[in-house]
Amino acid sequence: MSTLKVDAMQCVSTNTSISMNNSVYFPTGTLTDGATINWDVFDNPTCQVTLAGNRTMAAPSNMVDGGFYSILIIQDGTGSRTLSWNAVYKFNAATAPTLTTTAGGKDLLIFRSDGTNMLEAGRSLGIA
């Protein structure tokens, strides 16, 4: 067993697991809004994007099998923006969520990757 200490966090690694004594989090990254939105899940496993028009989510890059990723989708000051999804995003009941349409509205989606696809693990729509 080896121990790695980073600042105040201590990680203990064995051949099969890593245990943490303190909480672990990923700072929220901001994706660049554009006609096609690209998401590098290695650099931004937890991210947000503000939609300023109707957009398409490209297939994310750098997915790993077993990885969990989240995206907060925010409507701009106009609202009523839509988002279409690349086929690698697999949603509950095979139905992509209908985003909140109010200006400034927020929707949170959580995915688990199998290394090839992003499988929806949860959604919170219309966050106030």
111-122 confidence digits (pLDDT tens): 999 999 999 999
pLDDT above 70 (res 1): no
- Dump pLDDT digits (tens) for 47-91: 999 999 999 999 999 999 999 999 999 999 999 999 999 999 999
Give this prediction's pTM: 0.86
Tokens of 68: 């969990």
Which of these, 80, 88, 123, lies nearest to 105 by C-alpha position? 80
The set of long-range contacts for 33-39, using a CB threshold of 8 Å and a minimum separation of 24, is: 37/83, 39/69, 39/71
| Number of residues that make up the chain | 128
Q: Which contiguous run of DSSP H or E holds residue 122?
A: strand 118-127
Exposed e or buried b per residue across 97-128, where buried means at least 16 C-beta atoms within 10 angstroms of its C-beta:
bebbeeeebbbebbbbbeeebbebeeeeeeee
Q: Is the pLDDT of residue 12 over 90?
A: no
Q: Given this model, what pLDDT does residue 25 score?
A: 87
pLDDT at 19: 72
Beta bridge partners of 61: 40
Residues 86-101: what's their mean pLDDT? 97
Binned at pLDDT 50, 70 and 90, residue 35 comes out as very high
Which pLDDT does position 86 carry in this prediction? Answer: 98
State percent of the chain over pLDDT 90.
Answer: 80
